[in-house]
A and B are shown apart, each in its own frame.
Chain A
Amino acid sequence: MLQCPKCRGTMRTFDRNGVHIEQCEMCRGIFLDYGELETLARIESQWRQAPPPPAAPQVVVQPVQPGWGHHGHHRRHHGPSLFGMLFST
């Protein structure tokens, strides 16, 4: 198993359009091997040119985290008790 270079989470391999991509299960960071970005870009531009274009893959931009970041659920309720941290020096 590959370890995420950023947060040490486990990297899961999956196949996207014939390109193997490693994605971290924790921070969702993506690791591409040499040449894979170019391959993806090429496939994307082929899609753009080919009418009618098939549905593009949904890319969800997750905010990345530093290594010490909080993984898992963030607090659900954000009421007045958050006040002090956000509103004073």
Chain B
Amino acid sequence: MIEELAALAGGSGGAGTAIVLYQRHDVLVVRVGAVVAKAHGVGSTLLAERASFAAAHPELFLAPLGVPRDVSGRTVSLWPAGEPVDPSDPVGAPWEEAGRILAALHALPVPSGLPVQGAPLRVREILSRPLPDTPAARSVLRAYATLPEVLEPAGHRCVVHGDFHLGQLVRHRGRWLLIDVDDLGLGDPVWDLARPAGLFAAGVLPPDVWRRFLSSYLTHGGVDLGADPWTRLDIPAQALAIQTAARCVSKAVDEGRTLNEYETTLIDACDRISSSRTG
């Protein structure tokens, strides 16, 4: 598949050596020079509709190169290569820009033809994968067992990214844009804020960073979350904290290492989630 993606990217103007940017489960992303080819997960649906929404909103999304195509039974899309957020400096990341872009996305009129967003489904998918039998994994599963069903509530419908985190921002021609439309769709906008919210509440993300992100979102016309944003944020934030913790646990095992201090902090948060409900 790597060769096929490299050939496609090369045929669309990419020049140079093929570099694998991401390979996990059934998702593969390959960059050749200025062009990125992505083979989407087997379970990905309605990619054409989602990519066409991105193409129609180039002020918010990196616009795809052409339409998704079938390559050996897989859906493949092509994108210009953008510059990612510097991973060594999460505090210096464009959190204000992220808040502004999400606010603008959530304010768009709801179009027809877009499916439901993927965030709640993703939580269930990731937590349904087997975890190693470790104390940390048991903390994660205990917390997940106390979590109310994370179905999309009725109402609060707008266009949401569905899987927002810092890896979903790239700079292209001087402006920050969203990438990855796989989970894009209609849903409750709080899910797009829930990852930073969950990591802030867990004690991982500094309060000041969370404040920068949330203030920017609200001052740029984001959805009104009322006097206490946690009324709506709480359950999605817990869900994504648990999902992230599950990812950390399996990643640490894959890499044959113990949990780092952030991951341990996140596992502690899972324990607090459990005890906040079981008393």
Contact = CB atoms under 8 A, between A and B. Distances in A.
Interface stretch (A13-21, A49-57, A65-73): A65-73
Interface stretch (B108-116, B134-142, B203-211): B203-211
A88 interface: yes
Contact of B272 (A68, A81, A82, A86): A68
Contacts of B251: 84
B106 to A, nearest CB: 20
A68 to B, nearest CB: 4
Tell me the interface secondary structure of chain A in the complex. Answer: loop
A27 to B, nearest CB: 10
B122 A82 contact: no
B201 interface: yes
Tell me the interface secondary structure of chain B in the complex. Answer: helix
A52 B247 CA distance: 58
Interface stretch (B7-15, B48-56, B58-66, B261-269): B261-269
Given A66-B234, A67-B276, A78 B163 contact: no
Contacts of B248: 84-85
Nearest to A86: B166
Contacts of B238: 66, 68
A83 B90 contact: yes
A-B interface, 4 closest residue pairs, ranked by CB to CB distance from nearest: A70-B203, A87-B167, A69-B201, A68-B272
13 contacts: A65-B201, A66-B234, A69-B203, A70-B265, A70-B272, A75-B262, A78-B89, A78-B206, A79-B88, A85-B263, A86-B93, A86-B196, A88-B247
Interface of A: 61-70, 72, 74-75, 78-89
Given A66-B237, A75-B265, A89-B247, A82 B204 contact: yes
Given A68-B272, A83-B90, A87-B165, 8 more contacts: A64-B230, A65-B230, A67-B276, A78-B90, A78-B91, A84-B251, A86-B205, A89-B163
A88 B88 CA distance: 14
A37 to B, nearest CB: 12
Residue in B210, B272, B273 with the greatest tally of chain A CB atoms within 10 Å? B272
Contact of B228 (A64, A68, A82): A64
B167 A88 contact: yes
A85 B207 CA distance: 16
A66 B199 CA distance: 12
B17 interface: no
A80 B203 contact: no
B86 to A, nearest CB: 10
Contacts of B262: 75, 81-82, 85
A72 B248 CA distance: 23
B271 to A, nearest CB: 9
Contacts of A80: 87-88
